[in-house]
Amino acid sequence: MAIPLVIIGAAAAATVFGGKKAYDGHKTKQEANEIQENAIKKYNNRKEQLDKIQNDTDEKLNNLGLLELSIGQSIGEFEILANELLVKMEKSGYKNQKLSIPSNQLSKINDLTISTTEFLATVAAAGATGAAASFAVYSGVMAFAAASTGTPIAALSGAAAYNATMAAIGGGSLAAGGWGMAGGAMVLGAAAAAPILAVAGWAYAIHAEKALANAEEQNNEVNKALEKMKLAEVRLNKITNYVQRIDLSLTSINNTFIEYFDALKAMHQTIMKRHQGEDISIDESKEFLQKIDNGYALAAIMTEIITTPIFKAQVDEDGKAVIKDGQIQFETDEDGGSVLNETILDSVLTEQSKKHNEILSK
């Protein structure tokens, strides 16, 4: 018996319809795959670019910390030598030799050398990594806290201070995402980072239409993440700019300081080679005092720069640094990132550069 034409027609129509649905499903799934692949590619390319900037910031921050630690140690050695020479001068009859540097600046210089020594001892004992970069932030923050609370800087150092500083500048990761010390909350803030963290966890349904919806949603999240990465890049570039300016300024001043220190060492060696009991002459005394005075003036300039916080610390109504659970709190912006201490840094760098030039012109 022949199959009725209407059934044949219905079957053909169903076949065409089914074939079209299959084709549409394939095209939809293919579209979803393309959106997904492009989104992942955009994300990975942008993150690779940001990682390079991040690494550059970390490296420069670490280099600055190394320089500051070296300066702190050199100033400590200078103090020891200067005090020994002042004692010898007094024994030679040149009593009450007066330095032009104020006592409060001498105290601040001494605090820096103590802080340097304790910090190095702490991180050496703890086997901590990234210590130099941490010190670049630690020195200014802890000095600010010491000045505003009246607590000696040495009392704020040690393991607790190191850990607090590490936490304050990012904690070493972005929700365990591994964006490094200068990254984390300081760069993005926890809320701003959420879209980036969400991207890695997307799951895709097997059905084409659901896959497309998920792919489009992922693409939207990636676009949000790219905006946050752009924000992070701006932050990192600003941080790097100030770190470089501080490094250049300290390097220039330290080079002058080293000249005075080396000259003082040479003069000290000459004195030490003399027969015991031989006095220092009046001309030598004047030269010693001038070298020591200028050395301390340069040390004061560098100390002022090193102990100026890179980021703004929170203060209470009395102007004292806010410390919670042993950690100094930073001011944050609307994105949760720590605020750069731009105005103060600009002022300090300009003022100390002028003082350096005045010494050079003597």
Q: How far is CA 67 from the centre of its chain?
A: 14
Asked whether the predicted pLDDT for residue 2 surpasses 80, the reply is: no
Q: How far is CA 361 from the centre of its chain?
A: 33
Residue-wise pLDDT for 256-272, tens only, equals 999 999 988 888 888 77
331 vs 311: CA distance, rounded Å: 8
Proportion of the chain in helix, strand, coil states, percent, rounded to 5: 75, 5, 25
> Could you tell me if 146 and 107 are in contact, meaning their C-beta atoms sit under 8 angstroms apart?
no
The parent domain of residue 140 ranges over 25-360
Please check whether residue 19 lies inside any domain of the structure: no
What share of the chain has pLDDT > 70, as a percent?
A: 68
pLDDT number for residue 193: 56
What pTM, to 2 d.p., does this model score?
0.79
185 vs 188: CA distance, rounded Å: 5
> Could you tell me if 160 and 333 are in contact, meaning their C-beta atoms sit under 8 angstroms apart?
no
Please check whether residue 82 lies inside any domain of the structure: yes
Asked whether the predicted pLDDT for residue 191 surpasses 90, the reply is: no
217 token code pair:
């949603």
What element of type H or E holds 323? strand 323-324
Closest CA to 72 of 127, 143, 170, 159: 143
Please check whether residue 326 lies inside any domain of the structure: yes
Asked whether the predicted pLDDT for residue 184 surpasses 50, the reply is: no
Q: For the CA atoms of the chain, what is the radius of gyration? A: 31
Asked whether the predicted pLDDT for residue 225 surpasses 90, the reply is: no
Asked whether the predicted pLDDT for residue 311 surpasses 90, the reply is: no
Please check whether residue 15 lies inside any domain of the structure: no
Asked whether the predicted pLDDT for residue 45 surpasses 60, the reply is: yes
> Could you tell me if 137 and 168 are in contact, meaning their C-beta atoms sit under 8 angstroms apart?
yes
pLDDT number for residue 205: 59
Number of structural domains found in the chain? 1
Residue-wise pLDDT for 70-103, tens only, equals 999 999 999 999 888 888 777 777 766 778 888 8
pLDDT number for residue 5: 45
Please check whether residue 8 lies inside any domain of the structure: no
pLDDT number for residue 182: 42
Cross-strand partners of 327: 324
Please check whether residue 297 lies inside any domain of the structure: yes
Please check whether residue 10 lies inside any domain of the structure: no
Please check whether residue 183 lies inside any domain of the structure: yes
Residue-wise pLDDT for 275-293, tens only, equals 665 667 777 778 888 889 9
